[in-house]
Structure 1
C-alpha cells in the first residue's frame, strides 16, 4: 500500500532519480497518474518519518481517532486514545484549548453551527458538550448519557440538534441546550458508523457496520427506507445540500447515490 508524497522537495528528489536524497525514504518511486507526475512512497514511510512541525501539529500522546473542522474553517478539533481533546487554530497550527474530562478514548466530534460548542463522543459511552465561548473555562458544561456503548459518530444539524450513533446499535437525537433526548432510533443490526441530517432536518441518514443505509424520520423515529445496494460495509453517508440525493461510501471502493423523494409525515402535513 502506498500514497503520493505531498512534499514538493521530496517529490523533486524522486523525479531526479535520487529517492534517497531529501525524500521520505529509499523506497519511493516516480509514477504517472493521468497527467500528473507523482512521487509514490510506502505508507509506512510516512507513518514512521518525523512530521514537519510547520505542517503537522503535534500534541496528542497516542493515536488520533477523530478530527473535525469548525463551520468557519478557522479551528480544528482532534481527539484520540489519550482521552484528550485538542482545539487547534488552523492557520497557525497552534493549540487553542486542551479539553480533559473523558474517561476513555475519544472516538467522535463535531462543532455546533455557531462554533460556540464542541460535542465529543467517547468509549466511556458519554457525549460531552464543551463551551468554547470567549471567557469561559475549557471544561464540559454538559454530559449526555443514555448510550450503552462507544459513541462512534456525532453530527449537528443546522439548528443545533445533535445526532449520536453508537456501538449499542442505536441513534439518539438530542437537544443539547436542554440536555434532553428527543428520540431514539432503533433498527441497525450492527454498530452505527455514520450519521447525517438532511438540510431541512426532517430526515436523518445512517450507515451501520453492515451492507445497509437507513433513512429516518427525525420527529417520530420511524425508519422511512432501508437501502441495501451497498456491496460492502458502508463507512459514511451524507445528503447533498439540496437534500434530494444521499451518498454513501463503502469498503468495496465504490460509492452509491440514490435519489430520495420520500417525504416524512411532517413534510406531508405542511
Structure 2
C-alpha cells in the first residue's frame, strides 16, 4: 500500500501477498521500494515485487521461525534472523545465502546495517548485541548490559554509534569508536514499556516506539527527550522518518498508521481501516509512504 503524506493521506494502491504458510512476524521494504521482504513463522523468507504483488522467492534455510528481516542501505543485501539463533545474509540480486552468522545463544530478534552496509548489528533473547563485519561474517564486538531481550537496533547516520532497545524499557547507545568491548556511553530512560522499534533521522535525532503506546524523539548528544508522541491505541510496531526528517510515520500493532510533525509533535494524518495489523512503514525518496501489514 502506498500513500502520500503531504496533504491528505489517502490510499493509492493495495496489494495482497497471501502465500505464507504461517504468521508473518515482520516485513521490510527495499530502499527503492520496489521489493518487499516478509519473515514468516513457517521458517521462510519471502521476497515480493511491491507493485505487482508477484512472489519472487521463498527462501528456506532457517531451522525455526523467522523473526525479523531488513535490507541493507545500498539494497544489495538483506538479512534475516530466526529462533534458530542465527542471522543469514542474502544476496538481493539472486537471493543466495552468503553467510550464516552464528554466536547468539537464543532467538535473534533484530538486525540492522550500518549506513555504508559494511557492518551489521544483531540482538535477541540472550540480551547480547553482536557487531559483525558483513564481508567476512566475522564478529567484531560484543555488547553486554541490557537486562532483558534486545528487540530493536539502528545505526546513527555517521555509523559511529549504535542504538539498541530492550524489553528492559531502556535504550542504550554504544560508541563504536571506543576500543573497550561492550561498554555503552549513554542510556536513555523514559518509556514505561518494552522498546519495540528504533529509528534515526537524517540529522541524528533518535525516535523510539514502545509497548507503552508512545513514541519518544530524543537528542542523543544531550540525552534529552525532545517530544513525546501519544495517540496509538496499541504498542508501536514500526517507525520511519521522512527523507527531510520533518515527519515521522508510525505503525501500531493494530489497524492504525499515523504521520507526525516532528517540530510540533502533532499528528497530521491518521490512516485506519485498511490493515488489521500494520507491520512496517517506510518513506520513499519521492515522499511516498509505504505500509505493509496483515489482514484477516
Same fold judged by TM-score > 0.5? Answer: yes
Match 1:94 to one of 138, 145, 161? 138
> Greater strand share, 1 or 2?
2
Q: Is the 8 A contact 1:132 1:138 kept in 2?
A: no
1:162 and 2:206 are equivalent in the alignment: yes
Aligned pairs, number: 220
Alignment partner for residue 67 of structure 1, among 111, 118, 122?
111
Q: Indicate the RMSD between aligned Cα atoms, in angstroms.
A: 2.9
**Does 1:250 pair with 2:250?**
no
Q: Partner residue of 2:147?
A: 103
Q: TM-score, normalised by structure 2?
A: 0.68
Q: Assess, with a 3 A threshold, how the Cα gap between structure 1 residues 251 and 142 changes in structure 2: closer, same or farther.
A: same
Distance in 1 between residues matched to 2:85 and 2:185, nearest whole Å? 37
Question: Which shows bigger deviation, 132-141 or 98-107?
Answer: 132-141
1:234 aligns with 2:278: yes
Q: How does 1:108-147 map to 2 (within 5 A)?
A: 108-133=152-177, 135-147=179-191
**Structure 2, gaps ≥5 residues long:** 1-19, 23-54, 66-81, 89-96
- Per-residue CA deviation, residues 11-36 of structure 1 (Å, 9 max, x unaligned), is xxxxxxxxxxxxxxxxxxxxxxxxx9
Q: Equivalent residue for 2:123? A: 79
Could you tell me how far 1:112 is from its partner in structure 2? 0.3
Equivalent residue in structure 1 for 2:220, among 173, 176, 187: 176
TM-score (norm 1): 0.74
Q: Is the 8 A contact 2:85 2:103 kept in 1?
A: no
SS at match of 2:162: strand
Q: Report the counterpart of residue 190 of structure 1 in structure 2.
A: 234
8 Å Cα contact 1:126/1:144 also seen in 2 = yes
Query: Is residue 2–residue 40 contact of structure 1 (8 Å, CA) maintained in 2?
Result: no
CA distance in 2, matches of 1:37, 1:165: 31
The answer to whether the 8 Å contact 2:83/2:106 transfers is: no
> Which one has more relative contact order, counting CA pairs under 8 Å at least 6 apart?
2
Provide the rounded CA distance (Å) in 2 between the counterparts of 1:143 and 1:134: 16
* Alignment partners' CA distance in 2, 1:156 and 1:203: 12
Please give the alpha-carbon distance, in whole angstroms, between the structure 2 residues aligned to 1:108 and 1:147.
14
Q: CA deviation at 1:251?
A: 1.3
**Greater share of helix residues, 1 or 2?**
1
Contact 1:211 1:229 in 2 (8 A): yes
Q: Larger Cα Rg: Structure 1 or Structure 2?
A: 1
Q: Return closer, same or farther for 1:251/1:175 CA change in 2, 3 Å cut-off.
A: same
Tell me, in whole angstroms, the C-alpha distance in 2 between the residues paired with 1:50 and 1:112.
25
Structure 1 unmatched ranges of 5 or more: 4-35, 254-270
